[in-house]
Amino acid sequence: MKVGFIGLGRMGVGMAANLVTAGHEVTVYNRSAIKLQALVERGAQAAARLADACRGEAVFTMIADDAAVEAVVFGEGGVLASLREQAIHASLSTISVALSQRLAAAHATAGQRFVAAPVFGRPEAAAAAKLFVVAAGPPDAVEVCLPLFEAIGQRTFRFGDQAHLANLIKLSGNFLIGSVIEALGEAIALVNKAGVDRLRYLELLTSTLFKAPVYETYGRLIAEQKFEPAGFAAPLGFKDIRLALEAAESLRVPMPLGSLLHDRLLTLIAGGGEALDWSAIGQLSARDAGLA
């Protein structure tokens, strides 16, 4: 399939490479030219202008935040202006529910099709084509994208024809991860202040009831108090919790645990923790217990 790919960050570069590997004809575009070369060597074509990445049946965007997506889509020579009729824009990054709704409407008006397909997984999973894809949008458009999603992930979950539901689900997932972090932070502060070794405690948890990657990954960061370099920096975590709460507010769904996460992350950032991994909110539990 002829497909464009916009946004070659830590996640995007692996995804684009996997599309090439799977035999698709991929045109890549990035604001800065860095990283283009490696992809070209693997068989991708480099687009000089953003519009050149929008000539195929579909274009994928993997772009940091709402503002950047808006610029890329609605800006002059952007995705909206460049896609041909019936072509598909699949947005793979974590954006707000409201923007997703706006994108769906704008593309529909332009005779194009919009699919939301946010992914779960970190850069290593992106490189290894092990992502999980949560896809929603017009069924025929999702259908067209399925082989592409298969090229970048280990499994695709479809959630109907309303694109923004995929974004909501993705945000809810990050809320769940944040909850794990907060719970681990409090539990580890508790047992540690009593004298229990943090890593030994974590080993117990992850060998028994909590044998899940998320407990292992974040439990280790908290137990080792190793928050730099950030895998997922505090401001990004804060942004996602905010987007989840924003959607919850629109839907009129109170989320007290979400509010707690919001306040924790805000405290972390107010205290100068911008460069830390978002799991450093676990350290606030230790601090409040007089441990740090």
Could you say which of 35, 130, 170, 226 is catalytic?
170
Angle in degrees, CA 65, 70, 73, rounded to 5: 120
Interaction between residue 173 and its own copies (CB under 8 A):
yes
Three-state secondary structure call for residue 131: strand
Interaction between residue 101 and its own copies (CB under 8 A):
no
Nearer to its own copies, 56 or 219 (CB): 219
The two tokens of residue 92 are 């793979």
Interaction between residue 128 and its own copies (CB under 8 A):
no
Task: Select from 212, 96, 115, 222 the least CA-distant residue to 162.
Answer: 115
Interaction between residue 285 and its own copies (CB under 8 A):
yes
| List 64, 165, 220, 232, residue binding its own copies (CB under 8 A) | 165
Cα separation, 186 vs 283, in Å, equals 9
Interaction between residue 64 and its own copies (CB under 8 A):
no
| List 124, 140, 224, 263, residue binding its own copies (CB under 8 A) | 263
Task: Select from 143, 63, 131, 57 the least CA-distant residue to 103.
Answer: 63
Q: The sheet that has 88-91: what strands, in order across it?
A: 45-46, 25-29, 2-6, 58-61, 88-91, 113-116
Nearer to its own copies, 11 or 184 (CB): 184
Using the rule CB under 8 A, give the single segment among 37-45, 98-106, 140-148, 267-275 that binds its own copies. 267-275
Three-state secondary structure call for residue 26: strand
Nearer to its own copies, 70 or 186 (CB): 186
**Are the C-beta atoms of 3 and 61 separated by less than 8 Å?**
no
Stretch 8-47 residues interacting with its own copies (CB under 8 A): none
Interaction between residue 179 and its own copies (CB under 8 A):
yes
| List 34, 196, 199, 275, residue binding its own copies (CB under 8 A) | 196
Question: Is there a catalytic annotation at residue 170?
Answer: yes
- Active centre residues (catalytic): 170
